[in-house]
A and B are shown apart, each in its own frame.
Chain A
Amino acid sequence: MNPAAVLALAASAAALPAGEGGAASLCGLCHPDVRVQYETSIHRSEEISCVSCHGGDPSAGDVAGAHGRGFRGRVRRAGIPDLCASCHADAGIMRPYNLPTDQLALYRTSAHGRLLARGDDRAAVCTDCHGAHDIRSARDPSSRVHSLNVPQTCARCHSDASLRAAFGHLGDPYADFAASVHGEALLRRGNLSAPDCSRCHGAHGAAPPGMGDVDKVCGQCHQTARYWFRTGPHATAMAREGMSECASCHGHHATAAAPVSLLETACSGCHAAGTAPLELASRMKTLYDGAGEEIETARALVDKAARVPLYVEDYRARLQEADTSLIESLPTMHSLDLSRVEHLTARARSIGREVQAEVNGKLGDRAWRRLGLAAFWFYLLVTVAILARRRRRWAGGGGR
């Protein structure tokens, strides 16, 4: 290194405020906006500099020199996955960060990767989701690929009207998702247990789940529902008919919280009126509604008794048991096995009824108060009558 270069380095280090990581610094003289973006990125703190991706000579003070030796300039879209993978698929480099190295392989299997392989530049590449100069850790809440931001990031293409028209996609997945029970939990309440797009579609390997896989995807979280679904006749029948398992009744992007009343609307989509399956659905609904009503009636009674006040802590504990049984019974409907549903709802219903009977009994004990009051008034009036007679005797002058 010649003395002039050392001098230039020192000058640049003095001129640029955040000048540590020296070698990167001179690019920012001409690309200040890129430099500003770069300052926030995770690559900056790991000292992955401009030349790592763009090549060239960061120490040259003039454009010709800087854009000289090994300069790659703007990276072609089709080349971006391979460029990123040059580090990110290298187990040796990634090991200390404990990052996976299979992203490129996954990407090539994804709908995005296959489209790109066909030479379609509209396909999303790494930078479309992660950003380029301002790339951040996925754990950073301001990152584009943080769970809270993933729906927006995907929506940049998938809810874009012209792109949707070009690919013949009908719905607006972002709008559907945002209105769904999942979107509500994730976007409005910030519940990170709720799924973003990648939980169902994959991230680097993003693709719509195929027939026969939907229950696996949903079952990642809805384990009990999937378990009972697999034990029931729907699992094989729907696979045979090529029907989407969960989505046939619950929808997919726009899936709503599943009320018991879904039994009234969803089944008739396939089953004709008056057939045994619809009969089964209506019987299951009756069981759930019955148990729910018993519990609610019991709860209202317990609340009333608490205001009297009566001692209701034990009743509240039993209502909690009943709630547990009812909630436990809901996923079992996917088995289409009436006896299972019956078993758990019957428990919830009978607890509700018992509590009602006992609270009513306790409240009914208060009817004795009225009876006691009547007896009290009877004695009181008798006493008053006796006193009134004695008073008359005194007033008449008799007295003694």
Chain B
Amino acid sequence: MWGLAAAGVGLSFLRAPSAGHRPSEGTVRCGPFSTLAIGEGRFVPHGARPLFVVRASESEVLALSAVCTHLHCVLRWDPGSRTIQCPCHAGAFDRSGAVLSGPPSRPLPQLEADVRADEIVVHVGS
């Protein structure tokens, strides 16, 4: 019986955890690139550091932090105006993260992003 218990603990220990709980190597997968129209953005949840991916041109993609630089509210992509809006104090950012209006004084930080096999991959660092 002791042997069985030890084997149970050992085997369940050796079963590797699911993919979400493995070292991410600092990258976030942000969905297909081809379904994103030029100038269109997409919100990507990523823990306490959500982000936007924006297709800048035929081949370029841009990744921006989705946390307002004013009071750290979570920003929203506004498909009508193709801008980024803050629900808290009506701050607005353009598609490159620059401040359009409202209280934020700093632009949204950009993250490194590239496209691999039609998947947008953003490097968030560890």
Direct contact between the two chains A and B in their complex (CB within 8 A): yes
Using Cβ atoms and an 8 Å threshold, which residues of chain B touch A331?
89
Given contacts A311-B21, A320-B74, 12 further A-B contacts (CB under 8 A): A192-B105, A221-B103, A223-B89, A224-B88, A317-B46, A317-B47, A317-B48, A320-B48, A323-B72, A324-B74, A324-B87, A379-B1
The 8 nearest A-B residue pairs measured at CB: A313-B47, A316-B48, A324-B73, A327-B88, A193-B105, A324-B74, A328-B87, A223-B90
Does any Cβ of A come within 8 Å of B50's Cβ?
yes
Does any Cβ of B come within 8 Å of A191's Cβ?
yes
Interface contact B89-A320, CB-CB below 8 Å:
no
Chain B residue, CB-CB nearest to A185: B105
Interface contact A327-B47, CB-CB below 8 Å:
no
| B interface residues (Cβ-Cβ under 8 A, vs A) | 1-2, 21, 45-48, 50, 67, 71-74, 87-90, 102-103, 105
Chain B residue, CB-CB nearest to A227: B90
Using Cβ atoms and an 8 Å threshold, which residues of chain A touch B2?
379, 383
Using Cβ atoms and an 8 Å threshold, which residues of chain A touch B1?
379
From B48, B90, B105, A313 is in contact (CB under 8 Å) with: B48
Q: How far is the CB of A334 from chain B (nearest CB, A)?
A: 13
Does any Cβ of B come within 8 Å of A296's Cβ?
no
Chain B residue, CB-CB nearest to A344: B87
Known contacts being A324-B87, A324-B88, is A317 close to B50, with CB within 8 Å? Answer: yes
Interface contact A316-B47, CB-CB below 8 Å:
yes
| A interface residues (Cβ-Cβ under 8 A, vs B) | 191-193, 221-224, 311, 313-314, 316-317, 319-321, 323-324, 327-328, 331, 379, 383
**Majority SS at the chain B contact face:** loop
Pick the most buried of B2, B46, B48, B50: most chain A CB atoms within 10 A of its CB: B48
Using Cβ atoms and an 8 Å threshold, which residues of chain A touch B87?
324, 328
Using Cβ atoms and an 8 Å threshold, which residues of chain A touch B89?
222-224, 327, 331
Using Cβ atoms and an 8 Å threshold, which residues of chain A touch B45?
317
Give complex CA distance A314, B103 in Å.
28
Using Cβ atoms and an 8 Å threshold, which residues of chain B touch A313?
47-48
Interface contact A223-B88, CB-CB below 8 Å:
no
Give complex CA distance A328, B75 in Å.
11
Interface contact B74-A321, CB-CB below 8 Å:
yes
Give complex CA distance A316, B50 in Å.
11
Give complex CA distance A321, B67 in Å.
11
Using Cβ atoms and an 8 Å threshold, which residues of chain A touch B47?
313-314, 316-317
Give complex CA distance A323, B105 in Å.
20
Using Cβ atoms and an 8 Å threshold, which residues of chain A touch B72?
320, 323
Interface contact B50-A323, CB-CB below 8 Å:
no
Give complex CA distance A311, B20 in Å.
11
Q: How far is the CB of B76 from chain A (nearest CB, A)?
A: 9
From B50, B88, B103, A328 is in contact (CB under 8 Å) with: B88
Q: How far is the CB of B21 from chain A (nearest CB, A)?
A: 7
Using Cβ atoms and an 8 Å threshold, which residues of chain B touch A191?
105
From B46, B48, B73, B105, A327 is in contact (CB under 8 Å) with: B73
Q: How far is the CB of B28 from chain A (nearest CB, A)?
A: 12
Pick the most buried of B2, B72, B88: most chain A CB atoms within 10 A of its CB: B88
Give complex CA distance A319, B102 in Å.
24
